[in-house]
Amino acid sequence: MELKDIGEFSLIKKITKDIFVDKSMVIAGVGDDVAVIKTKSEKYSLLTCDVLIEGTHFKRETITPYQLGKKAIAINVSDIAAKGGIPNQALISIGLTKDTKVKYVEEIYRGIKEGAKKFNIDIVGGNTALSKDKIFVDIFLIGEIEPEFLLLRSGAKTGDKILVTGNLGDSSAGLEIIENLDFKFEEKIKIKLKQAHLNPCPR
């Protein structure tokens, strides 16, 4: 079954039927045109968005739709984490071609939902749109932080230590391995690098 067979509203009903939200924070969410959330005035709000576009950031033949959805959440969580914050709510926008299989979309949302659940993120709304020839997944994520813990790029100064977690370039190397199967690495290293690209862990 393809998207053109069921239409936008039936698809939305299908992919949002089991979304759970924290009702103590979310006044209005999926099903309304605008999400309404309570805020804690003593904290700063953190806002970020990242998009994954077919042909630019991924290829359908090298990543499963489940991995795509989970990765879309992860890259946004990383941005919030980099500021020292906690993610809270997400808006999901997705562009689909008319011949996209409904099962493919359900798998994208399965990945999104599992990623959101892992980090206690409420999915409070979003948008679906018809795309001419490429799929995209765009997530807008809202987080929060206590003002004294906020980390900004502009806060860096001479003498600061620069620390990283993980290995720089793992994801890029993983993509190279996926696209070039002749890479001369031990199999366990290949698996690790591919996972860094397909299933990144927010840091």
**Quick one: pLDDT at residue 117?**
94
| Alpha-carbon distance values, 14 to 115, 134, 157, 187 (Å) | 18, 22, 50, 39
pLDDT tens digits for 59-102? 888 899 999 999 999 999 998 898 888 999 999 999 999 899 99
- Give yes or no for residue 172 having a pLDDT over 90: no
Pairing of strands 44-53, 36-37: unpaired
Domain boundaries, the chain: 3-147, 161-203
Q: Give the least confident one: 22-26, 88-92, 158-162, 173-177.
A: 22-26
Short-list 139, 140, 128, CA closest to 100: 128
Pairing of strands 136-145, 44-53: antiparallel
pLDDT tens digits for 97-137? 989 999 999 999 999 999 999 999 999 889 999 899 999 99
Q: Give the least confident one: 31-45, 113-127, 181-195.
A: 31-45
Any idea what DSSP says for residue 180? -
Instruction: Note the pTM of the prediction, 2 decimals.
Output: 0.79
CATH of 3-147, one of 3.40.50.970, 3.40.50.10490, 3.30.1330.10, 3.90.15.10: 3.30.1330.10
